[in-house]
Chains A and B, each alone.
Chain A
Amino acid sequence: MPKLHWEDFQPGTVAIYGPRLVTREEIVAFAAEFDPQPMHLDEAAASATMLGGLGASGWHTCCLLMRMIADGFVLDSSSMGAPGFDEVRWLKPLRPGTNIRIRVTVLECRPSSSRPEMGLVKFRYEVLDEAESCLTVMTSTSMFGRRQPETRA
């Protein structure tokens, strides 16, 4: 039985997960496989780009966030996945050697209109560096199973 169900999320709740050290090796390995652009692969080439130095693929940041929230709470929940992300903004580069944390804010909870066994939770996710500067901000709605499908008011 998972610990968290839809009923356990309340708007305004904030949780922080991490820190998680992001190494140069994993930035380059992810980029080599999925996003082989010079700004994610090679310091010298990256310094000539608008990124101004080696930085992680934005998609890598999304995948790291997914893993951190999976370990943080999703795997211990009745998660039924997410239908998508409303918005993802890559505000600042994620540099090698950064210890990132994820700040998760519950924005909204509502029942599913079509599926009584399911509810929806809208989250804001912020990827923070050590100085609490926000590198990436994302908003998304996830689906969770309900503990009591029929009885919640």
Chain B
Amino acid sequence: MSFFEDIRVGDVFEVGHHTFTADNIKAFAARFDPQLFHVDETSAERSHFGALCASGWHTAVVWMRLMIDCRRHMDEEALARGESVAGIGPALGFRELKWLKPVYVGDTIEYKSEVVELRPSKSRPKVGLMSFRTVGVNQNGEPVISFVSTTFVERRAP
């Protein structure tokens, strides 16, 4: 991760993509969100969704995993260039989480996260607060998930 001072509003993380299968939709939902339209094809067909679709939390945590992998890759590249990397986290939470369209079996979701706000922490001089808007878009170009999350990012030593 870049240090707080080196991040700009408008910076974009190309987080990556994930294809949702029936097996992983049902396995996740069985653990955390066993509503019938997330665990059973027949019931899902009869529901207002019309077909099996992923738990919204599943769509969200897939982003988290991809984001971690994306940051790790960026850190490895920076370290290889001889640069130092900033610590990040923990996150404070998120807002405006919207599940805009269902994620169906076979959908591939591409996630991007754009920095929307940067501010110093009043109480913690070693870190700043970074907010970014994440959007996940399906293979038809339709946004399926959007949210704004906020996390601590390390500042350069003064």
Contact = CB atoms under 8 A, between A and B. Distances in A.
Contacts of B91: 58, 90
Nearest to B32: A63
B157 interface: no
A50 B121 CA distance: 13
Contacts of B74: none
A113 B127 CA distance: 45
Nearest to B152: A50
A84 B90 contact: no
A108 interface: no
Interface string B86-97: 010111111111
A59 B61 contact: yes
A70 B35 contact: yes
A87 interface: yes
A34 B68 CA distance: 9
Interface residues on A, range: 35 or more
Given A39-B89, A89-B93, A82 B61 contact: no
Interface in A78-97: 79-90, 93
A50 B98 contact: no
Interface in B75-126: 87, 89-99, 124
Given A58-B90, A79-B35, A84 B98 contact: yes
Contacts of B127: 50
A90 B65 contact: no
Contacts of A86: 95-97
Nearest to B30: A67
Contacts of A64: 32
A83 B64 CA distance: 20
Contacts of A36: 65, 68
Interface string B42-64: 00000111000001110011101
A84 B99 contact: yes
B4 interface: no
Interface of A: 33-37, 39, 49-51, 55, 57-59, 62-64, 66-67, 70, 74-75, 79-90, 93, 136
Interface of B: 31-35, 37, 47-49, 55-57, 60-62, 64-65, 68, 87, 89-99, 124, 127, 147, 152
20 contacts: A49-B89, A55-B90, A58-B90, A58-B91, A63-B32, A63-B57, A64-B32, A66-B57, A70-B35, A74-B35, A79-B35, A81-B37, A81-B56, A84-B97, A84-B147, A85-B147, A86-B95, A87-B96, A88-B97, A89-B92
